[in-house]
Amino acid sequence: MLIRTLRCWPLLLLVAACARTPRPSADLANKYHDATIRQIGTAQDERNTAALLPFLTNANPTYRREAALAFASVQAQAAVPGLIPLLRDADPSVRRAAAYALGQTGDSTAVDSLRVRVLKENDGQVRRYVHEALGRTVTRTSLPELWRVETLNDTARATALAWGLGRAALRGLGSAESIRRTVGLLNLPRLSTGGRLAAAVGLARTRGLDADLARLAETTLLRVAQKDRNYAVRAAAASTLGKLAGVAENATAASGSAVTPSPSPAGPAAVLVRLATKDPDYRVRLSAIRALPFGTSNYAASRKAVFFALSHDRAPVALTAAEWLLAHAKGESGASLAALADGNKQASVRVRAALLRAAVRHATPAARPSLVETIEKRYPTVSTVYEKGFLLEALSEAPAAFDFVRSEAFAAGQSPVVAGYALASLLTMRRNADFPAARAADFAAAMRQGLAGGDVAQLGTAAEALADPKLYPEAQEADLTALLQAQGKLQLPREIEAWQGIQQALDKLTKAPKPTPTPLATAAQHPIDWAVVQSVPVGQQVRLRTSKGIILLELKPNEAPGAVASFVTLIGQKFYDNLYFHRVVPNFVAQGGDPRGDGNGSAPYNLRSEFGDLRYQEGSVGLASAGKDTESCQFFITHTPTPHLDGRYPIFAEVVGGMDVVHKLDIGDQILGVELVPVQ
């Protein structure tokens, strides 16, 4: 899908609070006014393969296409023999849908048919879908099928190949030849933006870049990272440059040279420093900071860029810089890092807490107690449960804070947000190499208390701890019993994620030969309300009022009818009003809509996954899940194109106004209200 162009929303947002938003005509009925398409949609929702298969041979190409798209969500391998003939359908929209569905199944038996279609397909858009499907179905053995046909003289075919290679790389499939091919595509002067993005993301996800391949890719990536006109392509190239810098550092270390070489002014490390401080898009700066090398030869330059970001950049970049120091700081004193937290009053509470955590981690044993005391004194004065959680994360670096953190985990009337942060901090603390053996029994008692308490966040943490062989080398009967008792008290499907966490721990502890299947809710427990779906016109907008400003969404009833019906119904119930954004990962997503406020809450029902023919771009709105067919009420908004989410998380809306607000959101920002925009 082409990168979306935002409409003229800034002026609209200025008047949104006091006037109705201009809307398109109300005559844009969605496709589910067609009774046969509703029948197909119901079969999809019920995962009824037998009911869908006859539609693949229906005389009407619309119904053939809809059935193929339905199988993209059902993902039944039994549909593959019926989908393959549709690759030769006279209608290009049917061929495209069939290719998409075959890719979604991931079935390697489709590789030969897809390869043949790549060679014969004349429609450029369909060819891209077929090549993507090939990238989603090839194995390590059949990987060369991706480049069987020469493409470099045809821009459309080159773009299709780039997506095929990119999809394979996202699955962890790559080779020296696939890397060479991808680099060659990036060097094509007229490769489309989508093709460049696919190639750059593919390289960023590719494993096993050795010194020879690094040299091959370096010149190209240095150019792309600095000069490509698309921010997402530059950001992906910056991520790969970090790998190249790491390869160079490892090569230097392996050589045993006693002389520390100076970084080349035009090499990956130096370019990453420039990108981290000077790129016009904050997402590129952020990606460059994450990729900054931290070896001896590059640390000083990287440190300078990180400190610049802490003082001169927006909150997501500053947070990334603080996290870089947490992971990589060398020779920094705890006192100096704590001073950064206290001295930068403009920084967000999350940034300051991350710096305090870095201060505690890197402090000397003699200096650490005073830092812990400072944090513990500050803790009662903070105003939000999320800031308390950030400070508890900082204390997770200090085993001496065990009793303080445990008391917060189990305090009477404690917020579930704080309780969850606290027990997770105890687990981090226990994994610290400095954790005293004398407190191991106290930690075990805290995990048992978390299991017995029944809070779903604490159950997940306790289950994770018990499944860690470094902490619990042998399963104890009492632990297995406690896990089973806790699991038995959970309410399904509402608490499916906690159920999964406990079951994964049980499978590990009992050495189960294969994972226990998740008890998924069927369509019967919450069928799609087709009356609600039909009431939502194509183009229906939603006004999401947040503490940072207004965001306008446009719903996608044609691609995700069940998700849209659920969202619209919850809006009518004022379900989302006064909830919070509980998870924000810079340059990735802002996630909210959880009634608990910590990511462990749900509506009383689950939805079936709807993987419509959409791609995650900047401003895509998806449903969070704990696996296929476990979606409920939590949603997220992407900051940037995220191809690794495509076909794995349902997209049910897109941002059409207020994207600048999305980029400002942080953990703890509130959803003040959500309402449908009246149709004129």
Between 347 and 77, residue with greater pLDDT: 77
Quick one: 65 and 205 in the same domain? Answer: yes
Give the tokens for residue 361. Answer: 């981690």
Summarised one tens digit per residue, pLDDT across range 406-415 is 999 999 999 9
- Rounded to an integer, the average pLDDT of 206-224 is 84
> With bands split at pLDDT 50, 70 and 90, how would you rate the model's confidence at 13?
very low
Name the helix (H) or strand (E) containing 460.
Answer: helix 456-466
Percent of the chain, pLDDT > 90?
A: 85
- The reply to whether 198 falls in a domain is yes
Quick one: 541 and 553 in the same domain? Answer: yes
446 in Cβ contact with 454 (< 8 Å): no
Quick one: 205 and 238 in the same domain? Answer: no
Is pLDDT above 60 for 25?
A: no
Quick one: 669 and 638 in the same domain? Answer: yes
- The reply to whether 603 falls in a domain is yes
Identity of the highest mean pLDDT range in 145-154, 185-194, 249-258: 185-194
Q: Where are the beta strands (DSSP E) in 314-447?
A: none
Is pLDDT above 50 for 149?
A: yes
Domain count, the chain: 3
Q: How many Cα atoms occupy the beta-carbon half-sphere of 496 within 13 Å?
A: 22
Q: Which residues contact 578 (CB under 8 A, 6 or more apart)?
A: 670, 671, 672, 673
> With bands split at pLDDT 50, 70 and 90, how would you rate the model's confidence at 207?
confident
Quick one: 224 and 213 in the same domain? Answer: no
What are φ and ψ of residue 97, in 5° steps?
Answer: -65, -40
Is pLDDT above 90 for 73?
A: yes
Quick one: 213 and 224 in the same domain? Answer: no
Quick one: 79 and 187 in the same domain? Answer: yes
Indicate the SS3 state at residue 463.
helix
The chain-wide mean pLDDT, for the chain, equals 92
Is pLDDT above 70 for 16?
A: no
> With bands split at pLDDT 50, 70 and 90, how would you rate the model's confidence at 248?
low
pLDDT of residue 346: 73
Is pLDDT above 60 for 192?
A: yes
Is pLDDT above 90 for 266?
A: no
Summarised one tens digit per residue, pLDDT across range 366-407 is 999 999 999 999 999 998 999 999 999 999 999 999 999 999
- Cβ-based neighbour number of residue 583 at 10 Å: 17
Is pLDDT above 50 for 10?
A: no
pLDDT of residue 419: 98
Quick one: 137 and 286 in the same domain? Answer: no
Q: What is the total residue count of the chain?
A: 680
**SS3 labels along 33-99:** HCHHHHHHHHHHHCCCHHHHHHHHHCCCHHHHHHHHHHHHHHCCHHHHHHHHHHHHCCCHHHHHHHH
> With bands split at pLDDT 50, 70 and 90, how would you rate the model's confidence at 264?
low
d(CA 45, CA 596): 27
d(CA 600, CA 134): 36
- The reply to whether 174 falls in a domain is yes
d(CA 194, CA 197): 5
3-state helix, strand and coil shares in percent for the chain, rounded to the nearest 5: 60, 5, 35
- Rounded to an integer, the average pLDDT of 509-533 is 96
- The reply to whether 379 falls in a domain is no
Is pLDDT above 50 for 6?
A: no
Per DSSP, helices labelled H in 260-313 are: 268-278, 282-291, 299-312
- Rounded to an integer, the average pLDDT of 643-653 is 98
d(CA 665, CA 253): 41
> What is the per-residue DSSP string for 504-515?
HHHHHHTT-SSP
What does the radius of gyration of the chain's CA atoms come to, in whole angstroms? 26
d(CA 431, CA 539): 50
**Could you tell me which residues are beta bridge partners of residue 629?**
none
Domain range for 188 is 37-218
- The reply to whether 274 falls in a domain is yes
> With bands split at pLDDT 50, 70 and 90, how would you rate the model's confidence at 154?
confident
Quick one: 199 and 71 in the same domain? Answer: yes
pTM for this prediction: 0.94
Quick one: 73 and 132 in the same domain? Answer: yes
pLDDT of residue 312: 82
- Rounded to an integer, the average pLDDT of 325-349 is 90
> With bands split at pLDDT 50, 70 and 90, how would you rate the model's confidence at 350?
very high
- The reply to whether 443 falls in a domain is no
Q: Domain of 571: which CATH number?
A: 2.40.100.10
pLDDT of residue 256: 56
Is pLDDT above 50 for 23?
A: no
pLDDT of residue 150: 65
Distance from CA of residue 131 to its chain's centroid?
24
Q: Domain of 81: which CATH number?
A: 1.25.10.10
What are φ and ψ of residue 66, in 5° steps?
Answer: -65, -35
pLDDT of residue 254: 55
Summarised one tens digit per residue, pLDDT across range 611-646 is 999 999 999 999 999 999 999 999 999 999 999 999
- The reply to whether 30 falls in a domain is no
Closest CA to 271 of 301, 300, 311: 301
- Rounded to an integer, the average pLDDT of 653-673 is 98
d(CA 160, CA 114): 13
Quick one: 86 and 223 in the same domain? Answer: no
Between 27 and 133, residue with greater pLDDT: 133
Summarised one tens digit per residue, pLDDT across range 304-329 is 999 999 988 899 999 999 999 999 99
- The reply to whether 98 falls in a domain is yes
Quick one: 200 and 276 in the same domain? Answer: no
